[in-house]
Amino acid sequence: MEIIQVVGIGLLSTVLILVLKEQKPVFAFLLTTATGILIFLFLLGKIGTIMGTLERVAESSGMDMIYIKTVFKIIGIAYIAEFGAQIVRDAGADSIASKIELAGKVLIMVLAVPIISIIIETVMKLLPA
């Protein structure tokens, strides 16, 4: 019943933040960030379990590790970028949050470049000159 713990932490911190926001908005922001990091760290172990299972299955079925690596990189970039953007957005800096998201998108697209190049080269070779 870990979800209860997570929701409990979330509710508690929300109440505290609501109280703090009137007195000290800076501390409210710090509390928000700390709660976010806490929940993220709590989930990190679970995500690790999923990743480990995926990796093990792929390894045992003889799948190429480069695919798994690419997929993991996508997930990592997405999570980190999303998390950072949300924290910054909570602090009220929406423009910076959108920049962080942009960086995440670009980095995910960079991962696609080698794949696209291989596919395009193959297609070009298939086509008659």
Partner 1 sequence: MTWLSDWLRELILVVLMAAFVEMLLPGKSMERYARLVLSLLVLLTLLNPVISLLKGDASSQLALAMEQAQRESGWGSGGDTGDSLQEILRQGQLLAAGSREQSLQLAAGEVAGQMQEQIAAATGVRGVNVTVALEMGRDTGGGELPVISRVAVTLPEGSSPQHAGGAEGGGAADQEAPGGRIHITPVEPVQVRIGAADAAQTAEAAASGEESAGTAETSSTAIGQQAESIVDLLVQNWNVERSRIEVKGAGGAEKS
115 binds partner 1 (CB under 8 A): yes
The residue among 24 and 105 lying less far from partner 1, judged by its C-beta, is: 105
Kindly tell me which residue out of 56, 63, 92, 94 binds partner 1, with binding defined by CB under 8 A.
63
54 binds partner 1 (CB under 8 A): yes
67 binds partner 1 (CB under 8 A): yes
Q: Which residues of 97-123 are buried (b: 16+ CB within 10 A; e: fewer)?
A: beebbeebeebeeeeeeeeeeeeeeee
How many other β-carbons are positioned within 10 Å of the β-carbon of residue 36? 17
Which one of the spans 9-17, 18-26, 28-36, 99-107 is the region binding partner 1 (CB under 8 A)?
Answer: 99-107
